[in-house]
Structure 1
Amino acid sequence: MGRLKLDIVGISEVRWQEEQDFWSGDYRVINTKSNRGNAGVCLIMNRKIGMRVSYYKQHSECIIVAKIDTKHIPTTAVQVYMPTSSADDEEIEEMYEEIKDIIQIVKGDENLIVMGDWNSAVGKGREGNVVGDYGLGLRNERGSRLVEFCTEHNLIIGNTWFKNHERRLYTWKNPGDTKRYQIDYIMVRQRFRNQVLNFKTFPGADVDSDHNLLVITCGLKLKKLQKGVNLRRWHLDKLKEPEVVQSLRESIREN
Structure 2
Amino acid sequence: MSSSSSRRWITLITKPGRPDSSRWKSGLGCDRPTTYPAECIYLATETAIVNNTIPGRGTSGQIPIMMAGTESREDSVNLTGKPKWKSQLLSCKGKLRVGTWNVRTLLQTGKLKELCDNAERYHLDIVGVQGVRWSGKDKIRHDSWTFIYSGRDDQKHEAGVGVLLSKRAADAVNSTDCISERLLKIRFKAGVTNLTVIVGYAPTEVANTPEKDEFYDQLNNILGKIPRHDMCLLIGDFNTRVGQDITAYPRVIGQHGMGDMNENGQRLLDTCSTHGIVIAGTIFQHKEIHKYTWTSNTVSRTRAQLDHIIINSRWKRSMTDCRAYRGADIFSDHELLISTITMKLAKPKSRGAKGKFATYKLNDRIMKERFQQEVKKHLIEENSQQLEIEEDWDNIKNGILHAAENTIGRIRHKRKEWISVQTEELVEKRRTAKAR
* 1:59-89 deviations in Å (ceiling 9; x for gaps): 1111011101112111000000001122112
* Shift of residue 141, structure 1, vs aligned partner: 1.5
What secondary structure is seen at the aligned counterpart in 1 of 2:337?
strand
Give the one of 123, 126, 130 matched to 2:243: 123
Give TM-score, length-normalised by structure 2. 0.49
* Shift of residue 182, structure 1, vs aligned partner: 0.4
What secondary structure is seen at the aligned counterpart in 2 of 1:9?
strand
Does 2:299 match 1:179? no
What secondary structure is seen at the aligned counterpart in 1 of 2:121?
coil
Aligned to 2:321: 198
* 1:38-78 deviations in Å (ceiling 9; x for gaps): 21000001100011101001111110111011121110000
* Shift of residue 186, structure 1, vs aligned partner: 1.0
CA distance in 2, matches of 1:38, 1:45: 23
CA distance in 1, matches of 2:269, 2:223: 16
Give the one of 189, 194, 215 matched to 1:74: 194
* Shift of residue 128, structure 1, vs aligned partner: 0.7
Does 2:206 match 1:83? no
CA distance in 2, matches of 1:72, 1:193: 16
* Shift of residue 207, structure 1, vs aligned partner: 2.6
Does 2:145 match 1:27? yes
Q: Flag structure 1 segments of 5+ consecutive residues without an equivalent.
A: 222-255
Aligned to 2:336: 213
CA distance in 2, matches of 1:95, 1:198: 28
What secondary structure is seen at the aligned counterpart in 1 of 2:120?
coil
CA distance in 1, matches of 2:301, 2:163: 30
CA distance in 2, matches of 1:136, 1:56: 34
Does 2:183 match 1:60? no
* 1:130-169 deviations in Å (ceiling 9; x for gaps): 0111111111121111111100110101111000000000
CA distance in 2, matches of 1:94, 1:118: 14
Does 2:202 match 1:92? no
Aligned to 2:129: 11
Does 2:255 match 1:137? no
CA distance in 2, matches of 1:101, 1:161: 26
What secondary structure is seen at the aligned counterpart in 2 of 1:71?
coil
* Shift of residue 22, structure 1, vs aligned partner: 1.5
Q: Flag structure 2 segments of 5+ consecutive residues without an equivalent.
A: 1-118, 345-436
Does 2:163 match 1:40? no
What secondary structure is seen at the aligned counterpart in 1 of 2:242?
coil
Q: Is the 8 A contact 2:205 2:263 kept in 1?
A: no
* Aligned partner letter, 2:128: G
Give the one of 141, 144, 153 matched to 2:275: 153
CA distance in 1, matches of 2:172, 2:218: 25
The structure that has the greater radius of gyration is 2
What secondary structure is seen at the aligned counterpart in 2 of 1:2?
helix
Q: Is the 8 A contact 1:70 1:220 kept in 2?
A: no
Identical residues among aligned pairs (%): 29
CA distance in 1, matches of 2:143, 2:218: 33
* 1:197-245 deviations in Å (ceiling 9; x for gaps): 1010001111321100000101149xxxxxxxxxxxxxxxxxxxxxxxx
Give the one of 226, 241, 246 matched to 1:106: 226
* Aligned partner letter, 1:12: Q
Deviates more, 1:155-164 or 1:32-41: 32-41
CA distance in 2, matches of 1:89, 1:24: 38
Q: Is the 8 A contact 1:71 1:220 kept in 2?
A: no
Q: Is the 8 A contact 1:14 1:40 kept in 2?
A: yes
Give TM-score, length-normalised by structure 1. 0.84
RMSD of Structure 2 on Structure 1 (CA):
1.4
Q: Is the 8 A contact 1:55 1:68 kept in 2?
A: yes
CA distance in 1, matches of 2:267, 2:135: 30
Give the one of 272, 289, 297 matched to 1:167: 289
* 1:170-207 deviations in Å (ceiling 9; x for gaps): 00011136210001111111111011010100011113
CA distance in 1, matches of 2:141, 2:254: 38
* Shift of residue 20, structure 1, vs aligned partner: 1.3
The count of aligned residue pairs is 221
